[in-house]
Amino acid sequence: MEQETTNLFRRRDTFFGICEAVGQDFGFNPLWLRLAFVAPLFFFPVQTFMGYFALGIAVLASRLFFPTKIRDAAVEPAAIEPAARTDDTTAGALALAA
């Protein structure tokens, strides 16, 4: 699965990106969390918004204290060649390849 690197606050399809960020962190579809916020919104709007923004503060804190480590694309394990052997079969194969 490819990770998206777009800043969640700058995307047009999210409301601060809190549900999207929690979905990325825990590996589930953020639609389920969004749906979980809809029902309480009708009965307890203030508490629902407070809970939503408290979750946003928790996401912000987790992203600041534990940032994701980005691997350097230039250094890949497959690109590193093993140490060259000095036996005659390897030298002969390299001579034929050239």
What is the three-state SS of 59-85? Answer: HHHHHHHCCCCCCCCCCCHHHCCCCCC
Does the global pTM surpass 0.85? no
Residue 97: per-residue pLDDT: 60
Q: What is the rounded CA–CA span in Å between residue 9 and residue 85? A: 53
Q: For residues 97 and 48, what is the distance between their CA atoms, to the nearest angstrom?
A: 68
Mean pLDDT of 82-94: 57
Cβ(55)–Cβ(16) below 8 Å: no
pLDDT of amino acid 70: 65
Q: What is the pLDDT of residues 27-73, one digit of tens each?
A: 889 889 889 988 898 999 999 999 999 999 998 888 888 887 765 55
Q: What is the pLDDT of residue 47?
A: 94
What per-residue confidence (pLDDT) applies to 67? 80
